[in-house]
Amino acid sequence: MGTLDGKVALVTAGSRGIGRGIVEAFLAEGATVVMTGRSAEKGEKALSEIGLPDRTAFLAGDAKSKNDVAGWVSTTVERFGRIDVLVNNAGGSDGFALVHELSDEAWDKAFTFIVDSAFWATRAALGVMVEQGSGRIINISSVAGKVGDQAAVSHYISAKHAMNGFTKAVAFEYGTQGITSNAICPGAIETDLMVEVGPSFAAENNQTYEEYKADYAKDAAIGRLNTVEEVGAMAVLLAGPAGGGITGALLNVDGGTAPY
């Protein structure tokens, strides 16, 4: 028996990286999991690799589209009858620059991708969770949501701080209705996305990509980067029965790099 037997989870941006790690962790505990992403091809590949067609589904769409995001929730409920866990994992930023050179487009995109997408999905899911009398909201934030010590990423830092505030607001409003809301704040994890965007981010800080990774490992109490499996384990805790008393928390999975 898994801790998530009979539960239905929706994980945005779940076909690879941290999202994929959470999807696989939930499946290992018996959940049915719907994952989303922009690429139908990557989604089908993920489903094939996982090999559990009765307990998995993929929905294509853009997390920056309100209609797509709301549709993910409604389709999950239509297909599986309920939604017990929502993981808002989608989000990111580009156009890295110092504040005086940061474009409106980069700022707006970061907030739409990170904050708005989480709001749209959470709003839709809460309507169902309130009727059920239970639910779990898990936002994938970042240690950047607790500090502001990196140059050229003020839009990402600001959006993740906003996500953390939203997490606490939802926890306060719905805590007496059997619904919890928490944020996981990962440190550096070498996902596919990090391999793609890490070099440009490092360059903005006058580093090579290897120096960038080494800095995180050096600053971590564990002396290494974290793994997607470690984030997945935290998500399982929050999604399961043992997480019922945890809400409004901003939980680090960062190897000890954050100051609090």
Q: pLDDT of 5-15, one tens digit each?
A: 999 999 999 99
Q: What is the pLDDT of residue 249?
A: 98
Q: Which of 156, 174, 212, 216 is catalytic?
A: 156
For residue 2, being part of any structural domain is answered with: no
Range of the domain at 213: 191-225
Q: How many CB atoms are located within 10 Å of the residue 101 CB? A: 10
User: 3-state class of 32 per DSSP?
Assistant: strand
In terms of domains, do 112 and 101 share one?
yes
Q: What is the pLDDT of residue 179?
A: 98
Q: What is the pLDDT of residue 248?
A: 98
Reported pTM: 0.95
In terms of domains, do 58 and 176 share one?
yes
Q: What is the pLDDT of residue 70?
A: 98
For residue 1, being part of any structural domain is answered with: no
For residue 258, being part of any structural domain is answered with: no
Long-range CB pairs of 212-217, under 8 A, 24+ apart, other chains included: 213/188, 216/187, 216/188, 216/257, 217/188
For residue 56, being part of any structural domain is answered with: yes
For residue 150, being part of any structural domain is answered with: yes
User: 3-state class of 115 per DSSP?
Assistant: helix
- Which residue, among 158, 150, 164, has the nearest Cα to 108 in the 3D structure? 158
Asked whether the CA dihedral 212, 217, 220, 226 is positive or negative, the reply is positive
Q: What is the pLDDT of residue 60?
A: 98
Split into its structural domains, the chain has a count of 2
Exposure letters 4-13 (e unless 16+ CB within 10 A, then b): beebbbbbbb
For residue 245, being part of any structural domain is answered with: yes
> Which residue stretches of the chain have pLDDT < 50?
none
Query: Active-site residue 156, yes or no?
Result: yes
Q: Is 127 left (phi over 0), alpha (psi -120 to 50) or beta?
A: alpha
Q: What is the pLDDT of residue 215?
A: 80
